[in-house]
Amino acid sequence: MMIALAAGGLLYDLWASQKEHVWRWLQEWWCTRVELRSAQHRELCDAFLFWCSRRTDVFGSQNLCVGPPPSELEPAADNLKESQVALAPGFGRHVLSVSVGDGSMSSRRVVFTRDVDESMKHKGGFHRGSNGPTADEVITLTATGSDAREFLLRVLNDAHEEYRASLQGHAKVFSNDGGYWDQLCWRQYRREDTMQLTTAQTRILNEVKQFFASRQSYAALGVPWRRGYLLEGPPGTGKSSFISVAAGAVQAPMYILSLRDPQLNDATLLRAVNSIPCGSFLVLEDVDSIAVSATSEQSHAPSTISLSGLLNAIDGIAASEGRLLIMTANRPEVLPPALLRPGRIDQVIHFDQLSSVDARTMTQRLYASQLQSGGNPQTAPVPPDSKATKTAAELQHEVLQRLVYLPKANAS
């Protein structure tokens, strides 16, 4: 009896000293863990939380946080005053009962933990909040079974697909502040049929679609997978609208950077450009400000970026690939030839005032609802001759005044 008790005591002491190692071994052998970090997988973290917010029945935890799904960040015009709130798991540990796909894999328990790592050891990506680099949010999923890896992969793929589907037609828009990217908002892409495009602009739009489908072709030729466009012309002629149309054609996020930002210098510009993910639009605004600041002492906001720094960022040895560069300029005549050579700027697209033909076509499109009911297109604000006299922004303003604001003013 004493021997049995002594043996039992020894076994208990052995278990007490080794239980953490045994449990860790069982976890490594039978459990699969997947870790997501917001600094490196921001979209996938958002996707999983969005997926959870649509399935509050899969977790029984009372520890919740409030977060509207991205698709509700831009509500319909007749629904602006409605507030819809979605609940997602809060920080801490949760147990989910999850089934995926078409049901071919059985439902199972997934342990989900949500935590914050403030060490900033994994801050890659150069995204931040308004007060500097943000702490790293960590999401960990743990499942058991011989096919747990495949199961968790299916969960994340399903979450990502559902998330992207909810944002169909919307773009992530980022702005830069001192070399770090802040997500400003989700913006609805502009449809191609809502803009009056010239033949040259339509051709460039088709080139943009082809570029993102040509990665293998660039690799086979041994040339960098990059392309650049310069949009030049007076304000209000449609440069920004064209960027939104082009980004919508390939469902690409837009990273917008003004070269007039006083916090930018050659080093922060290089860091910002190289941190943009593949498949994105990089939009450099006011690129003519570099030339202006170098030649004019009257510039109110001279650029702190040198021409060599700009060229190195977009076409140097460390320049990133897989992104489409679009520059805008109101005065292209001041741009240095070195910036416009092929490989940096491959095409220059001119935007000008509308001809009377384009103005009439645009007006008829905007008046489509009235034309269907017998309205007269001749009453639309169209230039009377072939001389280009109006920008697209000016004509759009006139039509909106007639269609939206004057009728309501007369009714009141």
Cα distance between residue 345 and residue 366, in whole Å: 34
Q: Is the pTM of this model over 0.85?
A: no
Instruction: Label residue 290 by pLDDT band (50, 70, 90).
Output: low
- pLDDT score of 145: 76
| Region of poorest pLDDT, from 51-65, 274-288, 330-344, 346-360 | 51-65
Which residue intervals of 213-265 are DSSP H helices?
215-221, 239-250
* pLDDT of 210 above 80: yes
Residues making up the chain, counted from first to last = 412
Instruction: Note the Cα 397 to chain centre separation in Å.
Output: 29
Both structure tokens of 212 = 């993102």
CA dihedral for 144, 145, 146, 148, sign (positive or negative):
negative
**285 phi/psi in degrees, rounded to 5:** -90, 150
Q: What is the pLDDT of residues 158-171, one digit of tens each?
A: 888 888 887 777 77
- pLDDT score of 297: 43
Q: Which residue has the tokens 């029984």?
A: 60
Q: Which residue has the higher pLDDT, 277 or 119?
A: 277
Cα distance between residue 249 and residue 205, in whole Å: 8
Q: What is the dihedral of CA 159, 190, 192, 157, to 10 degrees?
A: -10
Residues 6+ apart with CB under 8 A from 336: 291, 307
Q: What is the pLDDT of residues 242-257, one digit of tens each?
A: 888 888 888 888 898 8
| Region of poorest pLDDT, from 170-184, 259-273, 345-359, 369-383 | 369-383
Cα distance between residue 102 and residue 164, in whole Å: 19
Percent of residues, the chain, with pLDDT higher than 90: 0
Which one-letter amino acid corresponds to residue 176? N
Angle between helices 38-53 and 148-166 (to 10 degrees): 80
- pLDDT score of 73: 47
Residue 332 sits at the vertex; the CA angle it makes with 328 and 334, to the nearest 5 degrees, is: 125
Q: What is the pLDDT of residues 153-200, one digit of tens each?
A: 888 888 888 888 877 777 788 888 777 777 777 777 777 777 777 788
Q: What is the dihedral of CA 240, 242, 244, 250, to 10 degrees?
A: -150
The chain-wide mean pLDDT, for the chain, equals 73
Q: Which residue has the higher pLDDT, 100 or 21?
A: 100
- pLDDT score of 135: 61
Q: What is the pLDDT of residues 56-93, one digit of tens each?
A: 666 666 777 776 455 444 444 444 445 566 777 778 88
Phi-psi region of 92 (alpha: psi -120 to 50; beta: other; left: phi over 0): left
Q: Which residue has the higher pLDDT, 228 or 305?
A: 228
| Region of poorest pLDDT, from 48-52, 95-99, 266-270, 309-313 | 95-99
- pLDDT score of 412: 54
* pLDDT of 146 above 60: yes
Residue 357: C-alpha distances to residues 363, 372, 388 (Å): 10, 20, 9
Measure CA of the first residue to CA of the last residue in the chain; give whole Å.
100
- pLDDT score of 332: 78
What value does the mean pLDDT take over residues 86-111? 74
CA dihedral for 68, 69, 74, 80, sign (positive or negative):
negative
Instruction: Label residue 377 by pLDDT band (50, 70, 90).
Output: low
Q: What is the pLDDT of residues 6-34, one digit of tens each?
A: 666 666 666 566 656 655 656 555 677 88
Q: Which residue has the higher pLDDT, 212 or 24?
A: 212
Cα distance between residue 12 and residue 16, in whole Å: 6
Q: Which residue has the tokens 């003013």?
A: 409
- pLDDT score of 102: 61
Ordered structural domains, the chain, with CATH: 29-73+85-166 (no CATH), 171-350 (3.40.50.300), 356-411 (no CATH)
